[in-house]
Amino acid sequence: MKRWEEIADATLGFAASAILFVMMALTFADVVSRYVFNAPLRGAFEVTELMLLVLIFAGLPLVSHADEHVTMDFIDKLLWPGAIAVLERVVQAVCAGIMFLLTWQVWLKAGKIASYADTTDVMRIPVAPFVYFMAAMIGLTGLVHFYRVFVPSRRRAAQAST
């Protein structure tokens, strides 16, 4: 991994982990506040919603960068190493293409939301900037895949979800 790659990965990782930490702390504080002080935190609900949105899409470039998407790897056993290397690049190019398409679509969605100035119910937080952020992060994910077409990742990550 190159130096700038490490820095970019760490920056985004820090942002995502900070959001996750705050989300957890906020949920805990909300429950404590409700039971101990009989006063639920106002707007905790919608702040959590927006944080989840940021968390998911800030993490997406990290997942792609670490090559952690769930894939089927039967074909690795059928092909010879040279062919796998070529296939790997083609797959990355396809992923990049799809991510760029989705970037465009989510950007359109953000535009729509901005045009009717949608805000959250309680705290009146404008929603559109968050959706633009989503689009930007999906775009960044596309760039990661595009980069991987030329610089393949060295390791195949183990799948840890089950």
Partner 1 sequence: MIETLIGLAAMMLLSFVRIPIALSMGIVGVVGYAYMRDWNWAPAFAMAQTQIYETGRNYTLSVVPLFILMGTFVARAGMAEELFRAAYAFLGHRKGGLAMATVVAAAGFGGPCGSSIATAATMAKVAYPSLKRFGYADYLSTGSIAAGGTLGILIPPSTMMVIYGIITQTNIALLFAAGMLPGLLATVLLCVAVRYMVWRDPAAGPPGERTPWPERWKALRGIGAITALFAFSIGGIFVGLFTATEGAGVGAFVSMAFALWRRSLTWRTLYDSLVEGARTTSMIFLILIGALMFGEFVNITSMPGDLKAFVGRFALHPFMVVAAIMVIYVLLGTAMEELSMILLTLPVFFPIIVHLGLDPVWFGILIVCVVEIGLISPPVGMNLFVLSTLIPEVPTRTVFRGVMPFVLIDCVRLAILVAFPIISTWLPSLMK
Residues that bind partner 1 (CB under 8 A): 13-14, 16-21, 23-28, 30-31, 45-46, 48-53, 55-60, 62-63, 66, 68-76, 87-88, 91, 94-95, 98, 102, 105-106, 108-109, 127, 130-131, 134, 158-162
- What per-residue string of b and e applies to 76-86 under the rule 16 or more CB within 10 Å gives b? eeeeeeeeeee
Q: Which CB atom, from 94 or from 151, has the smaller least distance to partner 1?
A: 94
Rounded least distance, CB 56 to partner 1, Å: 5
Rounded least distance, CB 26 to partner 1, Å: 8
Q: Which CB atom, from 68 or from 136, has the smaller least distance to partner 1?
A: 68
Phi/psi class of residue 67: alpha, beta or left (left: φ > 0; alpha: ψ in -120 to 50)?
Answer: left
Q: Which CB atom, from 33 or from 151, has the smaller least distance to partner 1?
A: 33
CA atoms within 13 A on the CB side of 15: 18
Q: Which CB atom, from 59 or from 139, has the smaller least distance to partner 1?
A: 59
Rounded least distance, CB 1 to partner 1, Å: 15
Q: Which CB atom, from 97 or from 151, has the smaller least distance to partner 1?
A: 97
Rounded least distance, CB 4 to partner 1, Å: 18
**Residues facing 119 on adjacent strands:** 126
Rounded least distance, CB 6 to partner 1, Å: 13
